[in-house]
């Protein structure tokens, strides 16, 4: 059965919420009352429930199967964390209540900050960024503010970005007026300090480097790269999307990082929720800490204080990047994760994530090709498509065929430095038996591809709520909302 | 550890299969002197019960909106969210899924995003809406950047009725990107002459309605002037529920509409996560930031949905993207869509009338307190009081009496010289008793 | 992918719950410590979550589709009710706390009782029965106690039960020593007062009659039947499983009922939960009220009192039928349902339930056969299999084919008075468009059956987590738990 | 009304299709004078918010176990249930499904029932277990009836350590069905001679361990005597968690084991819903009450599960059924199964040790209160105090001091002449602070 859109099944006069009509009052709308239909049909509660439950059945989630989406870190989302975020003391509190009435909320933010600073070896943290890319923006703004404060704003206008970087990196740099220069990757998938030095000049503001990088490799020359930047008066922005590989194993602060965002929804397992909400706190080195934006929590005479305006700060906040104080709901979940794991559990989680990725790599390396040779990876294993040469099967076909085996595909065609990339991140949440089953399924598929069973791939998926969707058509003539059918016009044509 | 399935035996077996001796052999690229050998100075693992106790204690130190007479608004509102909403958004298939990059197994997410976009377009009276931004304030910042792209100009004019946080976000972003911002002074009685501030260098003018003081604004003439000068009108709102009762920006000439969607489906959450709404005229669609979900067909010709126009986005366009946004507010959109589906326009309009009626009743009651003046003429569910004392001190004194009585405007804008103004909101959750308690407490505090 | 049993995927040393081992204590187990493995493997939390989520995906529920199971009343389960039942003030309260500390709980029970008594027009209610059949037991015990109190215990030993009755009725009567005599149904599917009178004698203790009856018909002579019983000194037990058809439309007390259980999980929509828990309060007439079992709530000098022992009662409780006070969690849900609907909503719900059933009946009556003619039904529509004659399709086949259409089958082969019965109860929760779609699907199937497309039926379902299951095999050599495979023994054989 | 999808127009259309004029034409069989014309004397419909307020107010009048030092047991126990449990049991596909009579689309329910049965059999040390009863007490009643069927005798002997509610349920049922019950006197120190009460007319002897006073009982010799006389031993328990630490009844010769499963996965719920566990020896399987889930194969040979041996049940056998039970405790079984899966034997044993350690610590602490005697020697997580005052009065006085200090035995059995006995339980939720508060309060109350 197909699931109709609510605009097809609902009716304007239906509502699934009961309120009594207010009586005896004079509206005070100053002639700006809305008239006519809004265009929003309603459904009764039973219809609403069934509609959305049935929609959900067309989705795949971590809870329904292994979700090896490289760089995205689809790890277990503990329901304890959901429960904690829903405590009325966190969920039913307004951001502009008197601070005396939200001391527990500020305490939580303070404690989360302590954890993040300790785990990263940095000086301070700006909590308010709403997601990873927002955290990048925040970090790069802090760098820009620091450069401006040194009077170098006119000269230091270039940001170095490796070619393997997430798209958000160059987009962020460009958003606030930096020019982007691309750093080539070495043949082993990492960035050489020499390649960086070749590009450093007096115009260099910063590098944006992901570590572990998007090929799933720890940058072996990261300390030297950081030193080269610092020696040139520039800053080291680290994209922390892959921090989950090294929590408890190494601290970005020890590596020379000046700013790094942390995707709470990756490393600390706040749910991805089909695309958000995320949360992207940025940890800052001593050099950048003074420029952290408002608001932030600080100790005061009678409890914790929330500094909401630049003039109230001792330091030099570069401004404000969002209303209110950030993603409180995600802070709670992330802190629940950290408290639950503890320092021992977080370290173990990193190790298990790396172990699981290498186990998959080891299980597939004889069939599938690794672009940078057979060597250990961090938390994700990267394959390219050279092993598919002459099979007629593309990376996309292979990914779609995985759906028929009951798996969500891995990340494909990213990073760009590997041809036809397939980036597999199992996370620490998978058991050995789950990995064994996955490896066996992948091997079966890979052998089928090599045997030339191309029809199993070209048309895949066969067993999904939808067959392959026509994305070109969607983009050529975008239909971005439902519009009522026009039978009269159609009949006339 | 309850979250980690591997046993010590598993780990040994797996290391052997990989061909290394110890786990740290896999961390060989980490410089030896940087590899941590001691545990970090944080507590060790805790069971669920302990975590619940720790966080429960912190939560217990906060005064919840439901536990007191509550009138705090100014950009976030206490509404009643039906139980169905929270149940559905916790379903594994929604909660633990990713951005729908594999549409064949993400039609659930994609269809609700399509429904969400349609709802937002209808509410705002605009042609198209995207699949959400982080919140209203960042949506406003993105709208200004978009206006710069569309007009190829760099000067934004901000109304004095714009929420100061929104203005701060725009100003910070503009400062960093080298653009200009002209901010009009705070405007509690909505009598600013914004039209005069528009010139041929103006890329956009940003006006909020209901504005931060609660005033309902007619945007029609502002739109005319903006368009005459080749500028765009960006209409903002912080209370989406107002759109059930007041004329939508799209009907008043807005080119881009941005706002906070928290009131529909989402809790207060001490400020986040919320859901930013972003709508625009059709002709600007390829300049929009954020994800867009579109309708298409699958290989069998069946209707389906995909993320589309992604060539605008950072993962394709990189430094030429319309925005750096990646993650948005997916699950908050879902909450919004479910709550809005339950309401329908009939329920939304009725709920909006309840809000308005409660606010009118409150305004009338507070106007009777000696020394208090209600300075907002036309409003939805929020209005401004002029007090005979410092509003921040009054709010603290009210809190001591167990009433959370609103937001002193000075908290949002300490330099605006408006220390006597108090922003007061009332929604469907307020009862007659709440109002009476507020009036009584305010009399005492001022008396 | 098949879902393994936890005994196949789990391990004895794994646990998904973290507690620290207690230190420094001397066990005081008196030599009765358990030794050796218990035989209970554990799973980590992520594995547990995925296991049960994947199991759930093999189920069908109201939230996933129309569930027209006659006599079972699969109506919408509002999540408000779930939320209310989980309020710590209800869920986190012990039944044996001092009554001074549970006044709100007693108030809820008292309020629920008031609603039930008002809706049924009876005198009092015994809340404690744990499910419908338990309520039957309670009601029949009250009747037996009343008979004993009159000194007629030795003579009145027979209970009359119509042939269309639920199996629980005769089972209950027999459980406490009554002999069961079957009352034949009339050709119109109802019970004639004369048929009852023909069986009434000095040995008659009671009748157990369902009304509306299991054919979905209101017993038209119910008042006369009640009078006949009463005139003979016997009692009228009404099976209230179908009370949902007449809430707010008619009161059992007005019809002469002496005792009736109410399935809170049917009429008042507490979730069925895959087979429970239910709740079966019994309303009692003035004649039976004195015999209600302990415990019950009653007003006292300082608030409400819980009478827990016969000696503390003013009346003559027949004893106790369960530990503690019954299904509190279900009371909360049921009261939330009643408060939400109100008297107006409950009446409307009954009317809509009846309307929906008749709409289905009207939509199918030309294709399918009604055993008692084309006349209105109450909340469920009964068809028999005479229309399938010579098609080679059985009622069971038809039911299984419905699964392939995306529907849960209706109740089949019950009531026994209709040959190859199909009992369809849509409930008031279905929209007209949902019913239209259902009718269209049924018509399509019915026409296929008549066209002789028997293979579509004989092998159905094709599109379900399992094909038809071998029930005979399950019963012949019952395998009621998992046992470890014995590869050694198998190898030896 | 939010729950009712039909609109007035729908209703009119549908009546027309049916061919009647008005809704009451469908109620024509209701005697005209019995058809209600006026609304019943109950309030009209209420919105969610109002319902939450009404029930929230009632809930707020109860003292919750988590909010105070809490030591109440006697058949229901406060344990910590992992968040995963409640999440999963609320999934639509479990919550809103029916008894799995259509196994092809109910394998989810059936597989967990099969897992549940296996877990219960392992825990109790028995051959087979059913798919649950209403609770422990009704399971005990059904066990006695089953013993009567098996032995074709009608006399049950009940230990004086059996929970009085359980004994009451058995006695009520036996009285009604015409069977005999011999109940031994209350036995706080577990020194009754139950063996002497067994004779050739005895169908069964029912012994609880840990008994209601907390005593651990060795059943071995009772089983021997019972079997020698052709009677069955029914072992009962009210705290299933004890089976993580103490010898299971199956290893001591029990023929039927019944008990309360609430402690695993289920909240206190003021007494219900709970989950009755019922296990037996293989040879009695066809005499068992309740549903049984069994393994089989489908038409393609794949493993699957069905309800089986239903010829024992009321819907087939009617007045010859082994029981009248129909609905059982499905969702509570699921909660049990999930929690038990999370625990595994390693977690269960550890949790049981935590319970035992806390109880030992509490017993030692309370034994130091002047006038108090701990009279239970071997126990699990519950024991009995002999007090110098009336225990019921002490409990009330403790409650006034904010400590819920246990159950006076007289509340369960007012006629037992044990007014000075207090049953005290301690589980993993109790902290050192809880214990200290209890000791201090008890000293005050007794001092």
Query: Each residue of B181-230: pLDDT tens digit?
Result: 999 999 999 999 999 999 999 999 999 999 999 999 999 999 999 999 99
D229 occurs within a structural domain: yes
Residue D353 sits in the same domain as residue D331: no
What is the predicted pLDDT for the residue at B313?
Answer: 80
What is the predicted pLDDT for the residue at D325?
Answer: 87
B48 occurs within a structural domain: no
For residues D92-119, average pLDDT = 97
What is the predicted pLDDT for the residue at D317?
Answer: 81
Residues facing A266 on adjacent strands? none
ipTM: 0.97
Buried b (16+ CB within 10 A) or exposed e, A368-392: bbbbbeeebbbbbbbbbbebbeebe
Residue at a domain's end among D339, D371, D395: D339
Residue B240 sits in the same domain as residue B102: yes
CA–CA min distance C75, chain B (Å): 15
pLDDT in tens, C252-296: 999 999 999 999 999 999 999 999 999 999 999 999 999 999 999
**Contact: A72, B98; criterion CB under 8 Å:** yes
Residue B172 sits in the same domain as residue B260: yes
Which residues 377-436 on chain D approach chain A with CB closer than 8 angstroms?
none
Q: In this structure, what CATH number is given to the domain that contains residue A443? A: 3.90.1150.10
Residue A182 sits in the same domain as residue A290: yes
> Which residue's structure tokens are 């009248």?
D324
- When pLDDT is cut at 50, 70 and 90, the band that residue A493 belongs to is very low
What is the predicted pLDDT for the residue at C272?
Answer: 96
Residue C251 sits in the same domain as residue C144: yes
Residue B353 sits in the same domain as residue B331: no
Instruction: Please name the residue of chain C whose CA is at the shortest distance from the CA of residue D34.
Output: C250
**Contact: A131, B134; criterion CB under 8 Å:** yes
**Contact: B80, D48; criterion CB under 8 Å:** yes
What is the predicted pLDDT for the residue at A492?
Answer: 47
Note the helical H segments in D234-285.
none
Share of chain A above pLDDT 90, in %: 95
Residue B334 sits in the same domain as residue B419: no
On whether any CB of chain A is under 8 Å from the CB of D176, the answer is no
Which residues 302-331 on chain D approach chain C with CB closer than 8 angstroms?
302-306, 308-311, 313-321, 323-331
Contacts of B80 in chain D (CB under 8 A): 48-49, 52
Range of the domain at B354: 66-80+345-446
Which residues fall within 8 angstroms of residue B221, CB to CB, at 6 or more apart? B195
Q: Under a CB-based contact definition with an 8 Å cutoff, are residues D415 and C312 in contact?
A: no
Q: Under a CB-based contact definition with an 8 Å cutoff, are residues C186 and C192 in contact?
A: yes
Share of chain A above pLDDT 70, in %: 99
Judge whether residue B10 has pLDDT over 50.
yes
Residue at a domain's end among B311, B339, B367: B339
What is the predicted pLDDT for the residue at A487?
Answer: 66
What is the predicted pLDDT for the residue at B357?
Answer: 98
For residues A88-92, average pLDDT = 98
DSSP class per residue in B146-215:
HHHHHHT--EEEE-TTS-HHHHHHHHHHHHHHT-EEEEPPP-TTS----GGG--TTEEEEEEESS-TT-B
D441 occurs within a structural domain: yes
Residue C273 sits in the same domain as residue C413: no
- When pLDDT is cut at 50, 70 and 90, the band that residue C492 belongs to is very low
d(CA A248, CA A250): 6
On whether any CB of chain C is under 8 Å from the CB of A59, the answer is no
Instruction: Please name the residue of chain A whose CA is at the shortest distance from the CA of residue D44.
Output: A20
Question: What's chain C's average pLDDT?
Answer: 96
d(CA A366, CA C375): 72
Residue A229 sits in the same domain as residue A273: yes
For residues A15-30, average pLDDT = 95
What is the predicted pLDDT for the residue at C490?
Answer: 52
Question: What's chain D's average pLDDT?
Answer: 97
d(CA D72, CA D70): 6
Residue C324 sits in the same domain as residue C377: no
For residues C448-462, average pLDDT = 95
Range of the domain at C156: 80-337
Contacts of D315 in chain C (CB under 8 A): 166-168, 414
B45 occurs within a structural domain: no
- Any chains having at least 3 CB pairs less than 8 A from chain A are B, C, D
Residue B316 sits in the same domain as residue B384: no
Which member of C28, C43, C63 has the closest CB to residue D379?
C28
What is the predicted pLDDT for the residue at B320?
Answer: 84
Residue D309 sits in the same domain as residue D431: no
On whether any CB of chain A is under 8 Å from the CB of C348, the answer is no
What is the predicted pLDDT for the residue at B319?
Answer: 83
Residue B147 sits in the same domain as residue B175: yes
pLDDT in tens, A103-112: 999 999 999 9
Residue A391 sits in the same domain as residue A294: no
Q: Under a CB-based contact definition with an 8 Å cutoff, are residues C47 and C400 in contact?
A: no
C394 occurs within a structural domain: yes
Contacts of C62 in chain A (CB under 8 A): 46, 50
B219 occurs within a structural domain: yes
pLDDT in tens, A179-224: 999 999 999 999 999 999 999 999 999 999 999 999 999 999 999 9
Contacts of C408 in chain D (CB under 8 A): 98, 102, 105
Residue D319 sits in the same domain as residue D431: no
**Contact: C79, B45; criterion CB under 8 Å:** no
Residue D334 sits in the same domain as residue D406: no
CA dihedral D258, D263, D267, D268 (to 10 degrees): 70
Residue C248 sits in the same domain as residue C104: yes
Which residues fall within 8 angstroms of residue A301, CB to CB, at 6 or more apart? none
Residue D363 sits in the same domain as residue D325: no
Residue C179 sits in the same domain as residue C114: yes
Residue at a domain's end among A337, A359, A382: A337
Which residues fall within 8 angstroms of residue B323, CB to CB, at 6 or more apart? A171, A175, B142, B145, B289, B290, B312, B313, B314
Judge whether residue C493 has pLDDT over 70.
no
Residue A462 sits in the same domain as residue A315: no
Across the A/C interface, how many CB contacts are shorter than 8 Å?
Answer: 59
Judge whether residue C487 has pLDDT over 70.
no
- When pLDDT is cut at 50, 70 and 90, the band that residue A24 belongs to is confident
Structure tokens at A3: 């699931």
Residue at a domain's end among B339, B369, B395: B339
Instruction: Please name the residue of chain A whose CA is at the shortest distance from the CA of residue D1.
Output: A18
Structure tokens at A290: 């003074």
**Contact: B84, C13; criterion CB under 8 Å:** no
B18 occurs within a structural domain: no
pLDDT in tens, D252-267: 999 999 999 999 999 9
Which member of B3, B47, B87 has the closest CB to residue C19?
B47
- When pLDDT is cut at 50, 70 and 90, the band that residue D200 belongs to is very high
C248 occurs within a structural domain: yes
Q: In this structure, what CATH number is given to the domain that contains residue A261? A: 3.40.640.10
Residue B440 CA to chain centroid, in angstroms?
Answer: 33
Which whole-number Å values give the CA distances from C211 to C280, C366, D38, in the listed order? 16, 27, 21
pLDDT in tens, B99-109: 999 999 999 99
Q: How many structural domains comprise chain A?
A: 2
A355 occurs within a structural domain: yes
Residue C302 sits in the same domain as residue C332: yes
B19 occurs within a structural domain: no
Residue B253 sits in the same domain as residue B299: yes
Residue A115 sits in the same domain as residue A260: yes
Q: Residue C134: enclosing H or E segment and its boundaries?
A: helix C132-149
For residues C173-181, average pLDDT = 94
Residue D222's nearest CA partner among D245, D202, D244, D243 is: D202
Q: CA B136, D47, B83 angle in degrees (round to 5)? A: 55
On whether any CB of chain C is under 8 Å from the CB of B87, the answer is yes
Instruction: Please name the residue of chain D whose CA is at the shortest distance from the CA of residue B344.
Output: D2
pLDDT in tens, A219-255: 999 999 999 999 999 999 999 999 999 999 999 999 9
Q: How many structural domains comprise chain D?
A: 2
A31 occurs within a structural domain: no
D36 occurs within a structural domain: no
Residues facing C11 on adjacent strands? C42
Residue A327 sits in the same domain as residue A361: no
Q: Under a CB-based contact definition with an 8 Å cutoff, are residues B173 and B148 in contact?
A: no
φ, ψ of residue D394 in degrees (nearest 5): -65, -45
d(CA C431, CA D4): 8
Residues facing D408 on adjacent strands? D422
A419 occurs within a structural domain: yes
Q: In this structure, what CATH number is given to the domain that contains residue D360? A: 3.90.1150.10
φ, ψ of residue A129 in degrees (nearest 5): -55, 140
Judge whether residue D307 has pLDDT over 70.
yes
């Amino acid at each position: 059965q197909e699931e109709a859109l609510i605009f097809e099944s609902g009716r304007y006069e239906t509502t699934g919420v009961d309120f009594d009509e207010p009586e005896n009052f004079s509206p005070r709308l100053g002639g700006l009352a809305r008239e006519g239909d809004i265009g929003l049909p309603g459904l009764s509660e039973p219809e609403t429930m069934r509609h959305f439950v049935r929609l959900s059945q067309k989705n795949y989630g971590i809870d329904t199967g292994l979700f090896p989406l490289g760089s995205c870190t689809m790890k277990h989302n503990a329901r304890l964390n959901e429960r904690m975020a829903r405590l009325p003391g966190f969920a039913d509190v307004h951001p502009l209540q008197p601070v005396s009435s939200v001391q527990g909320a500020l305490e939580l933010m303070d404690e989360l900050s302590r954890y993040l600073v300790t785990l990263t070896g940095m000086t301070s943290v700006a909590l308010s960024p709403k997601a990873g890319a927002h955290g990048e923006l925040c970090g790069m703004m802090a760098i820009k503010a620091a450069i401006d404060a040194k009077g170098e704003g006119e000269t230091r206008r270039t940001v170095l970005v490796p070619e393997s970087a997430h798209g958000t990196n160059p987009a962020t740099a460009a958003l606030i007026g930096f020019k982007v220069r691309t750093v080539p990757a070495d043949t082993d998938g990492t960035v050489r300090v020499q390649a960086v030095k070749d590009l450093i000049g007096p115009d260099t503001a910063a590098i944006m480097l992901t570590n572990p990088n998007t090929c799933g490799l720890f940058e072996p020359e990261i300390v030297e790269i950081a030193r080269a930047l610092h020696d040139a008066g520039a800053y080291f922005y680290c994209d922390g999307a892959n921090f989950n590989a090294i929590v408890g194993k190494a601290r970005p602060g020890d590596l020379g990082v000046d700013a790094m965002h942390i995707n709470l929804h990756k490393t600390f397992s706040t749910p991805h929720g089909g695309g958000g909400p995320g949360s992207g706190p940025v940890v800052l080195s001593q050099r950048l800490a003074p420029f952290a934006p408002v608001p932030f929590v600080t100790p005061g005479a009678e409890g914790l204080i929330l500094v909401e305006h630049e003039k109230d700060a001792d330091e030099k906040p570069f401004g404000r990047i969002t209303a209110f104080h950030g993603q409180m709901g995600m802070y709670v979940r992330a802190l629940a994760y950290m408290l639950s794991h503890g320092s021992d559990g977080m370290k173990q989680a990193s190790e298990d994530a790396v172990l699981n990725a290498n186990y998959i790599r080891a299980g597939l390396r004889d069939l599938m090709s690794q672009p940078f040779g057979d060597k250990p990876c961090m938390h994700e294993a990267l394959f390219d498509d050279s092993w598919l040469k002459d099979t007629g099967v593309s990376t996309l076909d292979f990914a779609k065929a995985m759906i028929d085996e009951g798996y969500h595909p891995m990340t494909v065609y990213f990073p760009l430095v590997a041809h036809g990339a397939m980036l597999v991140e199992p996370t620490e949440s998978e058991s050995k038996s789950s990995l064994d089953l996955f490896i066996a399924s992948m091997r079966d598929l890979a052998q089928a591809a090599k045997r030339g069973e191309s029809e199993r791939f070209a048309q895949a998926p066969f067993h999904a709520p939808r067959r392959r969707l026509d994305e070109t058509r969607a983009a050529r003539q975008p239909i971005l909302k439902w519009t009522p059918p026009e039978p009269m016009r159609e009949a006339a044509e | 550890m309850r979250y980690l399935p591997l046993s010590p035996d598993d780990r040994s077996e797996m290391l052997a299969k990989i061909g290394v001796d110890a786990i740290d052999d896999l961390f060989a690229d980490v410089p030896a002197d940087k590899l941590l050998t001691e545990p970090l100075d944080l507590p060790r693992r805790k069971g669920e019960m302990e975590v619940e106790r720790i966080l429960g204690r912190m939560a217990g130190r906060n005064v919840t909106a439901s536990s007191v007479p509550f009138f705090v608004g100014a950009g976030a509102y206490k509404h009643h969210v039906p139980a169905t909403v929270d149940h559905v958004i916790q379903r594994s298939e929604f909660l633990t899924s990713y951005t729908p990059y594999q549409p064949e197994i993400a039609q659930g997410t994609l269809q609700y995003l399509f429904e969400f976009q349609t709802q937002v377009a209808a509410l705002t009276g605009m042609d198209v809406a995207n699949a959400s931004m982080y919140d209203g304030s960042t949506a406003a910042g993105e709208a200004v950047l978009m206006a710069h792209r569309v007009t190829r100009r760099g000067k934004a004019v901000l109304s004095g009725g714009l929420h100061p946080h929104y203005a701060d976000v725009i100003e910070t972003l503009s400062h960093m990107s080298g653009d200009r911002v002209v901010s009009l002074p705070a405007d509690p009685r909505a009598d600013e002459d914004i039209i005069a501030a528009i010139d041929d260098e103006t890329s956009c003018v940003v006006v909020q309605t209901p504005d931060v003081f609660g005033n309902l604004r007619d945007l029609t003439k502002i739109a005319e002037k903006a368009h005459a000068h080749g500028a765009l009108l960006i209409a903002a709102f912080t209370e989406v529920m107002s759109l059930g009762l007041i004329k939508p920006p799209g009907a008043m000439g807005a080119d881009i509409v941005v706002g906070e969607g928290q009131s529909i489906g989402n809790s207060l959450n001490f400020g986040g996560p919320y859901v930013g709404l972003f709508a625009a005229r059709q002709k600007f669609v390829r300049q929009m930031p954020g994800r867009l979900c579109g309708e298409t067909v699958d290989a069998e010709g069946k209707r389906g949905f995909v993320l589309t126009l992604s060539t605008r986005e950072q993962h394709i366009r990189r430094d030429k993207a319309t925005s750096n946004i990646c993650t948005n507010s997916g699950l908050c959109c879902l909450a919004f869509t479910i709550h809005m589906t339950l309401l329908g326009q009939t329920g939304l309009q009725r709920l909006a009338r309840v809000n308005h009626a409660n606010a009118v009743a409150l305004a009338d009651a507070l106007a009777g307190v000696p020394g208090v003046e209600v300075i907002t003429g036309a409003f939805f569910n929020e209005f401004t009081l002029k007090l005979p004392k410092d509003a921040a001190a009054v709010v603290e004194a009210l809190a001591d009496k167990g009433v959370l009585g609103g937001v002193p405007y000075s908290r949002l804008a300490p330099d605006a010289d408006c220390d006597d103004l108090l922003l007061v909101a009332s929604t469907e959750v307020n009862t007659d008793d709440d109002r009476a308690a507020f009036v009584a407490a305010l009399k005492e505090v001022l008396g």
